[in-house]
Chains A and B, each alone.
Chain A
């Protein structure tokens, strides 16, 4: 999601810190050295362990490794232990292409797993497709990845990036007609990640008959959200959606409160998912009822999720897994299901099976259209009582309560 498709400037500056560590990780080698065991199933991946995407890249590496430990403890895949071969592409498109080519032609790995970010998965998936290898990617939700007619490519997240807010639309649809908001305002930062989501959301809500009363796009360097809030307050929309990154999301909440305007429903991108920083920035009481969407949640009641969170905490200093680690774990789950479903290692058969079946993952059930784009939707999260709850879909929900209409500001 966010981390994979567009790093914020802040993330960008922090990723450098990981460099030294990443170099160590990259050198540490994977699985049994020499790979002498004929019977092992070797799975190769190239990840951005250093460079611009090192933060999500390293998290993905952790997700893959936790999966390997769990699957080997479970007896492996079709009775064969799994060995991972992970190389570092340094967040470079050129390196990722040569890495995957080498994994396929020289190392002759049995299967591949995807890398991180749309930027790297775009060329990497082309290498795999050319060689007839199944390519399950944990990130890379840009639309243009799926318009090339590939049939060995699968995206292991619930939906493409631009469809992030569809889960919110579904929730609006689920309301009785009389309770639905009748008017809506949309404002978004001028950002390649947020803007398509908000524009698509607007189209879908207009199709439901919700009148658009305000739209605006503001530049990334906007710090003063007061005029936008004043303009929105003047239109009194019942629903407000913001394509926020972080600071602008906090700024709009504050400014709306200062204008004493609170919509019935409020959806923000990204900002509310930065748990502590968001609630401190807007005041915990003001988070009440704010919606956002996310691909995974640590306490989602999906199969194996609890085991994954526990194993991760045990391995990495009691840390809570990042969404990127969970996405990687889920991608590996998809590959395993494909191999076991096809009852063999024939790439075409695995791809066929995945196109025809639904797979249970820690993100929830995943299935794909013929392009390999997922047919599900993100989770809808809401701040309730100072905590984040998943409110939809039902099988992943952590609570049955949905706060609507949103209470006025504290």
Chain B
């Protein structure tokens, strides 16, 4: 029983962290209508910035999210304003190519500047845990989980309770309709894109403590968070959270009770099963192609 609770707890914690990583991807999908394949590279970039500042100053890496989040927000804002927005009327495949190029550029720059080595921020608590009776809760994923909840709460509050948030959602659902009621396209999309990269800022800071990373690590992260948002429904925040928790739990329970070899297969099996029943994902909405274009 203790082992079952322990496994559940580990699954939920890591699931929360995955939700943090995936939330920005789903938000950006809402704006660009394409998968931002550079989201993994943004995560790794932020992890490298965190590691570098942590090593130079000793400031707690997760607290450094207070630096990386605005930094990545600014980077995302500038990038979309200067480059991304130009492709708004181009076919979606152009945006995918552009973001893939950005991912390779970031990977290459990190290779040259930081070197092709594994890095890892190791503050005092990186390998410690809290004990609750027979259950141990590792501190780093726990802090990551709390950070995820905070980010998701902020996103939710902004999107559901502010005019800006409504504008973003309106624009994501139907750009021309939104324009008709006075939502100006570029500033709204820029803001949404920047919020998405900002979450990668925080996610990267958490990542730097969780697992060793090197410039090419972004491939494994983009694959994982893409699976999550497909399961949850592209563009849906509750979907990203649910998909991430399902991945975390599937990974943990399968590893412990079946075999780690099956854990990834089980997750993708769940995605396939869900997509057969609900092609739009768990929380995704069917879009009317005629008005959404």
Choose one: B14, B127, B212, B214; the contact of A224 (CB below 8 Å): B14
Interface majority SS on A: helix, strand, loop or mixed? helix
Interface centre among A187, A226, A228 (most CB of B within 10 A): A226
Q: In the complex, how many angstroms separate the beta carbon of B56 from the nearest chain A beta carbon?
A: 15
Binds A, one of B76-84, B95-103, B113-121, B195-203: B113-121
In Å, the complex CA distance between A224 and B256 comes to: 12
- Check A258 against B136 for contact (C-beta < 8 Å): yes
A318 within 8 A of B: no
Across the interface, which residues of B come within 8 angstroms of A254, CB to CB?
A: 126-127
What's the least CB distance linking A118 to chain B, in Å?
Answer: 24
In the complex the two chains form, what is the Cα distance from A204 to B10 in whole Å? 34
Q: Which residue of A lies closest to B262 (CB)?
A: A219
Cβ contact within 8 Å between A222 and B260: yes
> 1/0 per position for A199-235, CB-CB distance to B under 8 A?
0000000000000000011110111101110110010
* CB < 8 Å neighbour of A247 from B7, B211, B255, B259: B211
**Residue from B3, B14, B118, B122 in contact with A226 in the complex, judged by beta carbons closer than 8 Å:** B14
- What 1/0 mask marks residues of chain A from 238 to 275 whose CB sits below 8 Å from any chain B CB? 00000000110011011101111000000000000010
Chain A nearest CB: distance from B76 CB in Å?
Answer: 25
Residues of A within 8 A of B251 (CB): 224, 227
Q: Are B7 and A230 in contact (CB under 8 A)?
A: yes
Residues of B within 8 A of A409 (CB): 127
Query: Looking at the complex, which of A6-14, A178-186, A347-355 is the stretch in contact with chain B?
Result: A6-14
Q: Are B127 and A282 in contact (CB under 8 A)?
A: yes
Number of B residues with CB within 8 Å of any CB on chain A: 37
Contact for B212 among A219, A247, A255, CB less than 8 A: A247
Given contacts A10-B214, A13-B116, A219-B264, contact A281 B131 (CB under 8 A): no
- B216: Cβ under 8 A from any A Cβ: yes
Verify A230–B10 contact, CB threshold 8 A: yes
- Asked if B120 and A280 sit within 8 Å, CB to CB, the answer is yes
A190 within 8 A of B: yes
What is the chain B residue whose CB lies nearest that of A12?
B216
Asked if B235 is at the interface (CB within 8 A of a chain A CB), the reply is no
Residues of B within 8 A of A258 (CB): 127-129, 136, 138-139
The answer to the question of A194 belonging to the interface, with a C-beta cut-off of 8 Å to chain B, is: no
B46 within 8 A of A: no
Look across to chain B and name the residue whose beta carbon is closest to the beta carbon of A223. Answer: B211
Which A residues are in CB contact (< 8 Å) with B7?
Answer: 227, 230
Contacting pair B261 A221 (CB below 8 A): no
Interface size on A, residues (CB 8 A): 39
Nearest B residue to A278 via CB reads B118
B175 within 8 A of A: no
CB distance from A254 to the nearest CB of B (A): 5
Q: Which residue of B lies closest to A284 (CB)?
A: B122
- Closest residue to A250 on the B side, CB-wise? B212
Q: Which of B118, B126, B253, B263 is the one whose CB lies under 8 Å from A277?
A: B118
- Decide: A255 and B138 in contact? CB cutoff 8 A: yes
Contacts of B127 in A (CB 8 A): 253-254, 257-258, 282-283, 286, 409
User: Which among B116, B127, B251, B264 has the highest number of chain A CB atoms within 10 Å?
Assistant: B127
Q: How far is the CA of A251 from the CA of B260 in the complex (A)?
A: 14
Please determine whether B256 and A231 come into contact, CB atoms closer than 8 angstroms: yes
| Choice from A10, A217, A255, A281 contacting B122 with Cβ under 8 Å | A281
Task: Annotate A304-324 by CB proximity to B: 1 below 8 A, 0 otherwise.
Answer: 000000000000000000000
A227-B255, A277-B117 given; A234·B3 CB < 8 A: yes
A279 to chain B, nearest CB (A): 10
Name B264's closest neighbour in chain A (CB-CB).
Answer: A219
Do A230 and B211 touch (CB < 8 A)?
no
Binary contact readout B193-223 vs A (1 if CB under 8 angstroms, 0 otherwise): 0000000000000000001101010001001
> What residues of A have a CB within 8 angstroms of the CB of B14 in the complex?
224, 226
Q: Which residues of A contact B216 (CB under 8 A)?
A: 9-10, 13
Q: A190 to chain B: which residues have CB within 8 Å? A: 261
> Given contacts A254-B127, A257-B127, A260-B129, are A227 and B256 in contact (CB under 8 A)?
yes
List the A residue with the shortest CB-CB distance to B13.
A226
Nearest chain-B residue to A187 (Cβ)? Answer: B260
Q: CB-defined interface of A3-38 with B at 8 Å, one 1/0 digit per residue? A: 000000110011000000000000000000000000
Q: Is the CB of A14 within 8 A of B212?
A: no
- Residue of B whose beta carbon sits closest to that of A227: B255
Q: How far is the CA of A14 from the CA of B128 in the complex (A)?
A: 33
Report the bound CA distance from A277 to B14 in whole Å: 24
**Interface residues, chain A, CB within 8 Å of chain B?**
9-10, 13-14, 187, 190, 216-219, 221-224, 226-228, 230-231, 234, 246-247, 250-251, 253-255, 257-260, 274, 277, 280-283, 286, 409
- A-B contacts, 26 of them at CB < 8 A, read A10-B214, A13-B111, A216-B255, A219-B264, A227-B7, A227-B253, A227-B263, A228-B260, A230-B256, A234-B256, A250-B120, A251-B212, A253-B127, A254-B126, A254-B127, A255-B138, A257-B127, A257-B128, A258-B127, A258-B128, A259-B129, A259-B136, A277-B118, A280-B122, A283-B126, A409-B127
The 5 closest A-B pairs by CB, nearest first: A227-B255, A218-B260, A258-B138, A258-B129, A227-B252
With A246-B118, A282-B127, A283-B122 known, 5 other A-B pairs at CB within 8 A are A218-B261, A221-B223, A226-B138, A226-B252, A250-B212
